[in-house]
Amino acid sequence: MDKVETLLKEQQLKDQFDNLEKHTQWGIEFVEKYAKFVKERSEIETNYAKQIRNLSKKYQPKKNSREEEESKYSFCRAFLTTLNELNDYAGQHEVIAENLTSQIIVELSRYLQELKTERKSHFHDGRKAQQYIESSWKQMESCKRKFERDCKEAERAQQYFEKMDADINVTKADVEKARQQAQMRHQMASDSKNDYSSYLQKFNQEQNEHYYTIIPNIFQKLQDMEEKRIERIGVCMKTFADVDRQVLPIVGKCLDGMTTAAESIEPKTDSKQVVESYKSGFEPPGDVEFEDYGQAMKRTASETSLSNSRESKEKPAGKSKGKLWPFIKNKNKGSGPEDFSHLPPEQRRKKLQGKIDELNKDIQKEMDQRDALTKMKDVYIKNPQMGDPASVDPRLTEIGQNIEKLRFEVQKFEGWLAEVEERMPSKSDTHRRSGLYETQNNTTVSNSCAQDRESPDGSYTEEQNSETQVKANTDPNLTSSTPEFDDEFDDEETLPTIGTCKALYPFEGHNEGTISVAEGELLYVIEDDKGDGWTRVRRNEDEEGYVPTSYIEVFLETNAKDS
């Protein structure tokens, strides 16, 4: 009965080992499956980020004039901001993919190797212990069977001896031999008994240790291993969520940036930009007058009709009422598209003004280079060992020629600009253009820079330490593009006084339409500066004209400011 019970326990133990082996193997496969899941999620994030970046790049504005033109609209700028924020948004998904790989996939790969090694070690120890106890059991069973055989042999020897001793026909020698054989068998049985008893005691101790110490320890180690595996899976699942949560603040900022960009769209401003971009400057035709054929009257047109506007081009510029700054016409019909004559008036005016600003910047650069070379030449003159002063002269001459060419171009484009503004609908701020080159610093009013500004007669005065002074109108052939003021300036209606002014510097008005003033002189302001750098003033009823705004200090009346 004990043997059957022991065998049942051994079989149950084997079954438990098999169950544990299957379960722990399934646990390892689960870890591998979860690692594969995280890897595929990381690949999805990487591909998604790549597609988002490509989408943002695809719709980024190209470097051409059309896209640059669109950038002035608020909705285009908002879309560009959205694309940039979307690119940053894609970067956060790349961060998710990187963190999933480094914090989960790599860690699980390393842990899986350790887990497989540990599991293999525990089951190796369990099988070894199981094999040992089975071996000990077999040895104990062997001793038991030997003891059983020896007892049977001793009993048979004893029975044979007793039979021989009772038989009177058997010799004494045979009886003695049978007795000795019986004694030897009894001794062998006694020795087998002792061996069996010893092995049985040893086996019971080993079996007790096996079932109560060795196997429980192995099972405990397997249990600890399984709990660590489950715990590690839980940590990885938490990290899986935390990796996503960590980028949410930055993703939120990206989305906030998109929202802010959308809220910055200004429909009215954009519509004004469209109006400004495509405004032609053409004056609408006036009313068509009634033509009485009964009296054979010629068909006349209103003063504001298109035909009248075309005829007015052929009339002398100085005879036109309300035009304060007429110029001698210089249409340059053969200049082609250089004068932007193919554009509507307003668009042409913008193009010409932009060209003038660009040329002025080029002139300023050339002048800066000339100033630097002049200072270098002064250093060479004072310190001949540093260089030859004459080596700078060719470059100075070249710069001077470049400045002259650029100024000629400025005057040419200003002539076209004045022509365009004169033809545009009559507005006080579009007919008064100086037609003169103005430096970038002529709006600064200070005693120290009084010499570094352009005088109204078209000349440009350098600083006192400059080597040369270059006049803008030294070439008599350029007079065709210089402005002349209206001969009938006095025909204008008397304008009311809107304030007073004080002359900061003396000004000699050589051109018609200007007025000479002395430093410190007080005058009346009758028309404020409209953005062209000139203010209309009056000395008395008979003397009035324009002076440079930068030469005077204006004191406007309160009601004039409000209006």
Which of 406, 422, 438 terminates a domain? The answer is 422
* 507 and 387 share one domain: no
Domain end among 402, 422, 442: 422
- Predicted confidence pLDDT, tens digits, the chain (563 residues): 455 556 555 666 667 788 888 999 999 999 999 999 999 999 999 999 999 999 999 998 887 756 666 778 899 999 999 999 999 999 999 999 999 999 999 999 999 999 999 999 999 999 899 899 889 989 988 998 999 999 999 999 888 888 888 888 878 888 888 889 889 989 999 998 999 899 899 899 998 999 899 989 999 999 999 999 999 999 999 999 999 999 999 999 999 999 999 999 999 998 888 887 777 666 677 788 887 777 654 444 444 444 444 444 444 433 333 333 333 333 444 444 677 777 777 777 788 888 899 899 999 998 988 888 888 888 888 888 777 878 888 888 889 889 988 988 888 888 888 877 776 655 444 334 433 333 333 333 333 333 343 444 433 333 333 333 333 333 434 333 334 444 444 444 577 888 899 999 888 877 778 888 998 899 999 888 887 888 999 988 778 888 888 889 988 776 554 44
Together in a domain, 192 and 66:
yes
| 139 in the same domain as 237 | yes
Q: Which amino acid is at 449?
A: C
For residues 244 and 369, state if they share a domain.
Answer: no
Q: How far apart are CA 257 and CA 85, in angstroms?
A: 7
Q: Indicate whether 461 belongs to any domain.
A: no
Q: Which domain holds residue 529?
A: 499-556
Same domain assignment for residues 128 and 41: yes
User: Exposed e or buried b for every residue in 473-509, given b needs 16+ CB within 10 A?
Assistant: beeeebeebbbbbbeebeeeeeeeebbbbebbbebeb
Residue 525 lies in a domain: yes
Residues ≥6 apart with Cβ < 8 Å to 463: 451, 452
In this structure, are 409 and 504 located in the same domain?
no
464 in any annotated domain: no
User: 3-class DSSP state for residue 34?
Assistant: helix
503 in the same domain as 400? no
| Number of domains within the chain | 3
Q: How many helices (H) and strands (E) does the chain have?
A: 13, 5
Is residue 107, in this structure, part of any structural domain at all? yes
Q: Are 189 and 150 in contact (CB under 8 A)?
A: yes
Distances (CA, A) of 196 to 61, 206, 557: 97, 15, 134
Clarify whether residues 66 and 193 are in a common domain.
yes
Q: Choose the final residue of a domain: 271, 287, 303.
A: 271
Rounded Cα–Cα distance for residues 415 and 425 (Å) = 18
For the domain that residue 551 is a member of, what is the CATH number?
A: 2.30.30.40
On whether residue 411 sits in a domain, the answer given is: yes
Domain harbouring 218, CATH code: 1.20.1270.60
Q: Answer whether residue 27 is part of any domain.
A: yes
95 and 187 share one domain = yes
Find the angle CA(250)-CA(253)-CA(256) to the nearest 5 degrees: 155
Which positions ≥6 away from 531 have C-beta within 8 Å? Answer: 429
C-alpha dihedral (230, 232, 236, 238), degrees to nearest 10 = 70
Cα-flanking dihedrals φ and ψ of residue 327, to 5°? -125, 160
Residues 58 and 154 in one domain: yes
Cβ atoms of residues 533 and 438 within 8 Å? yes
- Contact indicator for 500, 521 with CB cutoff of 8 Å: no
Whether residue 542 lies inside any domain: the answer is yes
Of 114, 136, 123, 152, which is closest to residue 18 (Cα–Cα)? 123
The answer to whether residue 435 is domain-embedded is: no
Same domain for 350 and 267, yes or no, is no
Alpha carbons 269 and 275: distance in angstroms, whole number: 10
CA distances 534 to 185, 436, 475, Å, are 148, 11, 25
- This prediction has a pTM of 0.50
Assess whether 101 and 206 both reside in one domain: yes
Residue whose pair of structure tokens reads 């002064």 in the numeric block: 378
Residue 133 is encoded by which pair of tokens?
Answer: 């106890």
